[in-house]
Structure 1
Amino acid sequence: MAAEMNEKTVVFITGGNTGIGLATVQALCESSTPYNIILGSRDEQKGKDAATTISSSLPNTRSTINVVPIDLTSDSSITSAVSTLSSSHNGTLDVLINNAGAALDPAHSQGKLSTRELWNQSWDINVSGTQVLTELCAPLLLKSSNPRLLFLTSGTASLAETERTDGPMYERINGSPAAGWPKPGFTGTPAYRSVKTGLNMVAREWRRLLRGDGVKVWLISPGFLSTGLGGVGAETLREMGAGEPLVGGEFIRDVVEGKRDEDEGMAIRTGEVQAW
């Protein structure tokens, strides 16, 4: 994928120090394809700790990991991170994985965020910051001979599936509470689902803008996995039927390595295209 045969493919992944991001870094390091992975982390030390853990567990990997601090709510942080990318690898970026995000609805339910704070912060982290980063990275992607642009969406973001109540997951996310107000706990994830649906359009716009430049674009719907998203806790999510994050990491690696090229431009799940 990189510009010259023996060069490593340059991959920048945000939120790479935990959850699906960390699992993706691990999956890439387990590949026979060599990567130069730039691990974006809001907390630089946590990023370095994650990189050390993976490097120690995979001493024979052909890939390298470098850490770049980045906070998607800060334009100066994003600009600094992209400046670091621009000054290395001939300013070329082969793959941008927009993985970082946040599910803040539980914090609202617990009284930690007001309704406006919930919606503004959800949009800022999941969509606005991702848009700013992608815009700044676009010139670096255009220097690649095989540029790939990935956005992490959600299985809950499908408008077409909001009427489904078959199975425990759909019943949980689409079921209606009893009549009356207030609704106990005002539960659910309306902000998270809405911003991920918005992100779907953002990705489609990037596909439209960069199609003539040969940039391949995907929305990745990794499935219900036991990450720290939403602050519920991995063990609680496992009890609810969530899979392991490495499943998502291996899925993303497959997309990076061309195994879902026939579904370019779409929101994809491991075994199918996700309905809009």
Structure 2
Amino acid sequence: MANSIPPVVFITGANQGLGYAIAEVFSQAKNPYTILIGARDQARGEEAASKLLQTRTNQESTISPIQIDIASSESITSALDKISTDYGRLDILVNNAGIFGAPGKMWNSTTRPDWRAIFEVNVFGAIELIESAFPLLRKSPSPRVIVVTSNMGSISKVANGHVPTGAAGAYYSSSKAAINAMLANWSQTQKDIKFWATCPGLVATEFGGDFTKQHGREPKDAADIVRKCAEGEKEDVVGLMIWDQDGKSGVYEW
């Protein structure tokens, strides 16, 4: 049965924002997918899945919610156990869940607990989820891990003055540099799995508050780079931090 279902794609933070747009892009792709909506809140995940079922254009694709809080080891284990039981494999893992600042302190994360909160989600949770998913991914004929990152995590760009949010974004930037470093390592040490770090650019979502909502680009446009990685259109940039916008594409230096 596991081999008869369409490729299984698990997207974290998929009940809203960019994660929702990524799920929507997969649900409207030419190829069918088994789309798993990762959400901290089960009810919000179910609501997102219900909406996506109404807007999908590929009727062969299925959409289901998976409860997961990547700041919780128990939640990660439970989610992967469910995927293993229900589907027997994982073809594509999209690590999208992330936070800019500590809860309730988006632009004012100034204490050690604030920094730890950012790293718990953006780094520690992401690492644990991805590494815990390796056994399931290796049951796929073409395992892929796509990490949604930011060019704010490029040490090269920061060193050359790319600090669009100033000191307020330092800990978010540092967290993305850390997960970028892990992805670069995995791409060298886990050769049977393909990895990408994708930078969506500024996206019109709630992620950065009013600024991103007013100045960002359409979420579905930003989300399509993930589909391209999944469908073999980015094979020449495996293991790198990539971007795709306004008909152009490229690679950011680490």
- Normalising by structure 2, we get a TM-score of 0.91
- Distance in 2 (CA, whole Å) between partners of 1:249 and 1:128 is 24
Mapped to 2, the partners of 1:250 and 1:215 lie a distance apart of 21
Matching residue of 2:186: 206
- Native 8 Å contact 1:220 1:268 kept in 2: yes
Looking at structure 1, the residues matched to 7 and 196 of structure 2 have their Cα atoms a distance apart, in angstroms, of 18
Change (3 A) 1:207 1:21: same
Residue type of the alignment partner of 1:189: G
User: In 1, Cα distance between the equivalents of 2:113 and 2:93?
Assistant: 28
> How far off is 1:237 after superposition?
2.2
SS of equivalent to 2:251: coil
How far apart are 1:202 and its partner, in Å? Answer: 1.2
Residues 75 and 109 of structure 1: is their aligned pair in 2 closer, same or farther, counting only changes over 3 Å? closer
Residue in 1 that maps onto 2:76 = 78
- Paired with 2:90 and 2:107, the residues of 1 have a C-alpha distance of 40
Q: Percent identity?
A: 32
| Bigger radius of gyration | 1
Of residues 109, 112, 115 in structure 1, which corresponds to 2:111?
Answer: 115
- Provide the rounded CA distance (Å) in 1 between the counterparts of 2:34 and 2:106: 40
The separation in 2 between residues aligned to 1:60 and 1:24, in whole angstroms, is 15
- Of the three residues 238, 250, 253, the one matched with 1:272 is 250
Q: Distance in 1 between matches of 2:241 and 2:107?
A: 32
Q: Does 1 or 2 have the higher relative contact order (CA < 8 Å, sep 6+)?
A: 1
* Matched AA of 2:172: Y
CA gap 1:70/1:130 in 2 versus in 1, 3 angstroms: same
Counterpart of 1:57 in structure 2 is 55
Gaps of at least 5 residues in structure 2 are none
Residue 257 (structure 1) aligned to one of 219, 231, 248: 231
Aligned residues: 250
The amino acid of 1:79's aligned partner reads T
1:145 alignment partner in structure 2: 141
Shift of 1:191: 0.7
Question: 1:172 — aligned with what?
Answer: 164
Q: Is the 8 A contact 2:10 2:38 kept in 1?
A: yes
Distance in 1 separating the partners of 2:124 and 2:163: 30
Consecutive unaligned residues in structure 1, runs of 5 or more: 175-186
Q: Quote the Cα distance in structure 2 between the aligned partners of 1:65 and 1:149.
A: 19
TM-score for both structures, normalised by structure 1: 0.84
Pair 1:222 & 2:200 matched: yes
